[in-house]
Structure 1
Amino acid sequence: MKGFNNFQNRSNNNHQGYGGGYHSGRQNHGNNSGYHNNNNSSTLGKNLNPVDWTNVKLVPFEKNFYKEHDDIRKLSSKEVKEIRDKHKITILGGDNIPNPVELINKIGFPDYVLKSLRNNNIVSPTPIQIQGWPIALSGKDMIGKAETGSGKTLAFILPAFVHILAQPSLKHGDGPIVLVLAPTRELAEQIRQECIKFSVESKIKNSCAYGGVPKGGQIYALRQGVHILIGCPGRLIDLLEQNATNLRRVTYLVLDEADKMLDMGFEMQIRKIVEQIRPDRQTLMWSATWPKEVQALARDLCKDQPIHVNVGSLTLTACRRIKQEIYLIEVIHLLLCN
């Protein structure tokens, strides 16, 4: 590829809708991260057969919804550079990159998204949203590198809403349209809460799939039908092997904190999951670091040449706004306690 180096708590009231098969099975309990790290982890996914997509007639779908505002289209190269420099936005790769948009009313979001932003008192985009929203709305593959707490969740969730409502309605037996993979149950729940908060106007349904809790509630939610599934790889594979859901309708794939998922040993599971998703999907990867393992995964998952966006330091690893406190305890006190 040119320019890229050839590059889960039970169901809640938000779970309503359509379809999804159900096969009951043994409940599994894991740790709070939703990470399968047991003796059977090496066999996880062995019953998932890869799909030969060359023999599947794919139904066309729409993924480019971006209508550039006249004022944005008229920006000169110098003005575009000034905006990116001001917000510390660096483009590390990709072609035909949409211009950054600093004003929400010029992004081109439909009214229901704009209303949800107003209802949540969001009046201006963050740097990653300034560049990420136009890219995601354009249907392009994207690699985003930004701090935790930078607004990156909304950078992929709001375009996902637009994507979902442009697709045919879910039918009985359909799986989700949007799949978000996350390394931990905590992150998955954070993403889900953002989905709930901003989907009041659009009525988009979501659910989580992660370990550490019984599967029954998750299976029930999937059976009811969801537009967005946010999951940790281990539990998701478990549910796929039980035919609790399928990924045939997924056309918008997000990997959040991809580097952390690889650090936790999820690469094989991620690849098995993605084999179940049509190759002409839109893929968005988010990573705080850019090691060679993440680069290799990006090369394989992004079928189109991705636009690589960095916000802030090119060597960032975590949000600088996180406050750490260190307490010093004298050794004599420790000895007395013992």
Structure 2
Amino acid sequence: MCDDWDDNAPIEMPQGNYENRPICSQNFSNSNFRAARGNGRNNERNTRFQRNNRYNNSYGNGENSSNRSDGLYRNNRFKENKTSWGNSSNMTENDQTETINVPSKFIGRIIGRGGSKINELQSDSGAKIQVTKDIIGDDTVVKIFGNQDSIDKAKSLINSLTTDTTEMVRINSNPPPLQEEKKVVDWKTLLKECEEAEQAEWDKYPQIKKQFYVEHPEVTDLTEEEVQLFRQENNNIVVDRTFKKENSLPIPKPCPKFIHAFFNYPEILSEIEKVGFQTPTPIQAQAWPVLLSGEDLIGIAQTGTGKTLAFLLPALIHIDGQPGNRSERGGPAVLVMAPTRELALQIDKEVKKYYYRGITSVCVYGGGNRREQVKTVTDGVDIVIATPGRLNDLYEAGHLNVKTVTYVVLDEADRMLDMGFEPQIRKVMYAIRPTRQTVMTSATWPPGVRRLADSYMNDPIQVYVGSLDLAATHTVTQIIEMMPDDDEIKLQTLMDFVRNMSPDQKMIVFCGKKSRADEISSELVLAGIDCQSIHGNREQSDREQALIDIANGTVKILIATDVASRGLDIDDITHVLNYDFPKNIEEYVHRVGRTGRAGKLGESISYFTRNDWGQAKDLINILEEAQQEIPHELHNMAERYTVWKEKKDSSGRGTGRGRGGFGGRRW
């Protein structure tokens, strides 16, 4: 507008016809402009009246309602208090009028923002709707104009806006309906009906066969003292029922030899001989009789102790032993979940080492060719190894039928929970039949893993090798190098070590960031040193090639983030170097476990700076348990951190600089 309107000025009715008079013209001269204003403020008020009149007419007709100003709205609705929402000006002789009462708290729903909802209601019903100012108790009177069909349609639409509450629109001519008595829900009955319906659904599928174990005579002859001696001498195997229950079956004795577990399965024994293993590892010796007996198992052991083979060979026997033709089952019998692509691929590689009666497998993971994975799954496969994300993708899309699964493995369960995969795991586990056989492997036993086991396992037997306390493998020498917080010094120290490596040595260098891994890789290449790198930003094909290159010796150095800290089974890694110390001690243990595998010796080197002082105490515990040398500076750092933490907890904020409490001191 050309003038600043005074919205608080009283509005006077205009005289004459102003319908075609322009509000303001760009070509007005000064004299014309003065003339246009007329006597005093009349024209200005007339113009404002026209604007208000256009505004009032827009509601109910849906014309330009979004172009009103807030000031005008307040003027009309609250200042003048002369109009209501809606329009009744276009009635015909045949139109009827009906009045309804609507709870006042729902009027905003009927009007909508800027009158958008009331316009929509009028458009959909064909009736004219007017929200009046009349209040009756807690209700507001709403008038509806039109033929009977449009009125009924409008009432139905208005009622639908309040269906989420117990209060409904009440017609004036009808008394308020009596409140229905609240019904008491019998949850026990509903739960029982739900369980019966679920059981009826699962009864449509063939029964699961789990018992495949026949105890070898030599195992039967073992006395209880001999069994305890064997467990003690094999890295202190401890076996027990995880959740104590009455009437549980006795725990099977261990199988010191391959033939003790598989004497009824000569084809399995033949495959083991091809691989060249001599005796079972501790976890395998105890896990095989448990799993072949159909029991649920929780296997807790350090990395590199043969946990994959512990659940794999019983799975092959389980698949072949199920009733019915495998090709007619409609889905896989075995499902293995793993936290990372690398671990999933490693398990798939292990499966393919053992040929047993044509059993097939597929590895599905994010970053792989989804179309090919879908085709393989839908064509029919016995074992699916999957990361939780891609597994949920295929399941929700209907490509993977998990109702046929009878044997489930949660490998590296602690790592999957650390990575936030618990919702995906629970969603899939809920869709699998409850009578399945379930295996869970883990390197640690945190509360989250225990909770998962309690939810999805049936009276499981827990087999753990060594101790439930976090510990690094004893076949690795752990060296801690106290290092200044200086990237140039750290990089130069790494370069010096790499140049002195012998031809038969291989090393994984762990970094905390992807960018750091790329930076170190570039520096090594520029220095003429061949290496590979693996982290989450690399293409899957590049990640797979990096593992192939380090495994076959094409390169001797692999630069990696924690994506490679678990599940990689490369037997001849001689050194692990923690360029950046991990943020938690569990990851340190898993990094160390990449070397010293299959009984071989290894060496772990960690650059430890004052930024890492929060891990000093836990690291000391790991080193003491493995009887490793502990730098004196590490003890000092742990003590300073403890003092700083106590002060911080008592005062609510930290003291010092939070970087080891050393100020400007350097090592």
TM-score scaled by length of structure 2: 0.41
Task: Summarize the Cα distance change of 1:317–1:278 in structure 2 as closer, same or farther, 3 Å threshold.
Answer: farther
AA partner of residue 186 (structure 1):
E
CA separation in 2, counterparts of 1:61 and 1:185?
30
Q: Of residues 68, 71, 76 in structure 1, which corresponds to 2:215?
A: 68
1:98 corresponds to which residue? 252
How many Å apart are 1:235 and its aligned residue? 0.5
Deviation sequence 1:97-155 (CA, Å, 0-9, x none):
10011011111350110000000001210000110010011110011101111011000
2:430 corresponds to which residue? 275
CA separation in 1, counterparts of 2:424 and 2:406?
19
SS class of match (2:375): helix
How many Å apart are 1:181 and its aligned residue? 0.6
AA partner of residue 278 (structure 2):
V
Aligned residue pair count = 285
CA separation in 2, counterparts of 1:231 and 1:154?
17
Is the Cα contact below 8 Å between 1:53 and 1:278 reproduced in 2?
no
Is the Cα contact below 8 Å between 2:338 and 2:388 reproduced in 1?
yes
How is 1:1-338 mapped onto 2 (pairs within 5 angstroms)?
Answer: 53-56=198-201, 57=203, 58-87=205-234, 88-93=236-241, 95=248, 96-109=250-263, 110-167=265-322, 168-171=324-327, 174-198=330-354, 200-302=355-457, 304-316=458-470, 319-321=473-475, 331=486, 333=488
SS class of match (1:253): strand
Deviation sequence 1:15-53 (CA, Å, 0-9, x none):
xxxxxxxxxxxxxxxxxxxxxxxxxxxxxxxxxxxx963
1:30 corresponds to which residue? none
Is the Cα contact below 8 Å between 2:237 and 2:282 reproduced in 1?
yes
SS class of match (1:123): coil
CA separation in 2, counterparts of 1:181 and 1:79?
36
RMSD of equivalent CA atoms: 2.5
SS class of match (1:175): coil
CA separation in 2, counterparts of 1:157 and 1:137?
11
Deviation sequence 1:234-257 (CA, Å, 0-9, x none):
110100111111111111110001
How many Å apart are 1:82 and its aligned residue? 0.7
Structure with greater contact order relative to length (CA < 8 Å, sep ≥ 6): 1
CA separation in 2, counterparts of 1:320 and 1:64?
36
How many Å apart are 1:262 and its aligned residue? 0.6
Deviation sequence 1:49-73 (CA, Å, 0-9, x none):
xx96323114212111000011211
Is the Cα contact below 8 Å between 1:68 and 1:108 reproduced in 2?
no
SS class of match (2:262): coil
Task: Summarize the Cα distance change of 1:268–1:201 in structure 2 as closer, same or farther, 3 Å threshold.
Answer: closer
CA separation in 1, counterparts of 2:412 and 2:251?
23
How many Å apart are 1:169 and its aligned residue? 2.5
SS class of match (2:362): strand
CA separation in 2, counterparts of 1:290 and 1:332?
36
Computing the radius of gyration over CA atoms, which structure comes out larger, 1 or 2?
A: 2
Unpaired stretches in structure 1, ≥5 consecutive residues? 1-50
Task: Summarize the Cα distance change of 1:80–1:329 in structure 2 as closer, same or farther, 3 Å threshold.
Answer: same
Q: What percentage of residue pairs aligned between the two structures are identical?
A: 44
CA separation in 1, counterparts of 2:415 and 2:198?
29
Is the Cα contact below 8 Å between 1:178 and 1:250 reproduced in 2?
yes
AA partner of residue 237 (structure 2):
I
Which has a greater percent of helix?
A: 2
AA partner of residue 290 (structure 1):
W
Task: Summarize the Cα distance change of 1:335–1:225 in structure 2 as closer, same or farther, 3 Å threshold.
Answer: closer
Task: Summarize the Cα distance change of 1:332–1:292 in structure 2 as closer, same or farther, 3 Å threshold.
Answer: closer
Is the Cα contact below 8 Å between 1:175 and 1:245 reproduced in 2?
yes
AA partner of residue 405 (structure 2):
V
Task: Summarize the Cα distance change of 1:333–1:105 in structure 2 as closer, same or farther, 3 Å threshold.
Answer: closer
CA separation in 1, counterparts of 2:351 and 2:426?
25
AA partner of residue 251 (structure 1):
T
AA partner of residue 143 (structure 1):
I
AA partner of residue 200 (structure 2):
N
How many Å apart are 1:315 and its aligned residue? 1.2
Is the Cα contact below 8 Å between 1:289 and 1:317 reproduced in 2?
no
Task: Summarize the Cα distance change of 1:329–1:272 in structure 2 as closer, same or farther, 3 Å threshold.
Answer: same
